[in-house]
């Protein structure tokens, strides 16, 4: 289990880089050079962030990306939702099938409480705290 996946990590790094440019358009080659992220992965991440209205894309000569929101309004949990579908510390699977005892399992209840705590703490982290 990874709490933060590669895609979420790349997205966070990219939007932090863009945020530090203070509303200046940042092009893909500049991001690739500055972040050392493979171009195909980065382009895919940027397209998703644009689609999800985290970034605004400008096409053509002089084009690039800028943040669509203020850094204080972009949360780590937003990125995790977009790229990971949320946080699950334990999927409760047994032999590749969903466990039939999740509703009565005492361990699952404890793990769910931990998940709630982790989600609560992660939801306090915004992009402004990184920039």
What are the extents of the domains in the chain?
A: 6-129
pLDDT at 2 over 90: no
Packing angle, helices 6-20 and 39-51, rounded to 10: 80
The C-alpha atoms of residue 81 and residue 65 are separated, in whole angstroms, by 21
Q: Which residues contact 58 (CB under 8 A, 6 or more apart)?
A: 25, 64, 65, 66
Q: What is the pLDDT of residues 44-82, one digit of tens each?
A: 999 999 999 999 999 988 899 999 999 999 999 999 999
Model pLDDT, residue 95: 57
Q: Which residues pair with 60 in a beta bridge?
A: none
Q: What is the pLDDT of residues 86-118, one digit of tens each?
A: 777 666 665 566 677 767 788 878 888 888 899
- Candidate CATH numbers 3.40.50.300, 3.40.50.720, 3.30.160.20, 1.10.10.10; the one for domain 6-129: 1.10.10.10
The C-alpha atoms of residue 104 and residue 98 are separated, in whole angstroms, by 14
Model pLDDT, residue 112: 83
């Amino acid at each position: 289990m990874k709490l933060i996946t590669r895609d979420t990590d790349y997205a966070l790094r990219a939007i932090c880089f863009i945020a530090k440019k203070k509303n200046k358009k940042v092009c893909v080659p500049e991001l690739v050079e500055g972040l050392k992220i493979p171009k195909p992965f980065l382009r895919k991440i940027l397209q998703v962030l644009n689609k999800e209205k985290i970034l605004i894309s400008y096409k053509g000569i002089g084009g690039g990306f800028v943040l669509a929101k203020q850094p204080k309004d972009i949360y780590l949990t937003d990125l995790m939702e977009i790229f990971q579908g949320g946080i699950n510390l334990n999927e409760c699977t047994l032999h590749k099938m969903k466990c039939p005892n999740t509703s009565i399992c005492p361990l699952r209840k404890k793990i769910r409480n931990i998940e709630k705590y982790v989600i609560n703490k992660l939801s306090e982290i915004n992009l402004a705290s990184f920039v």
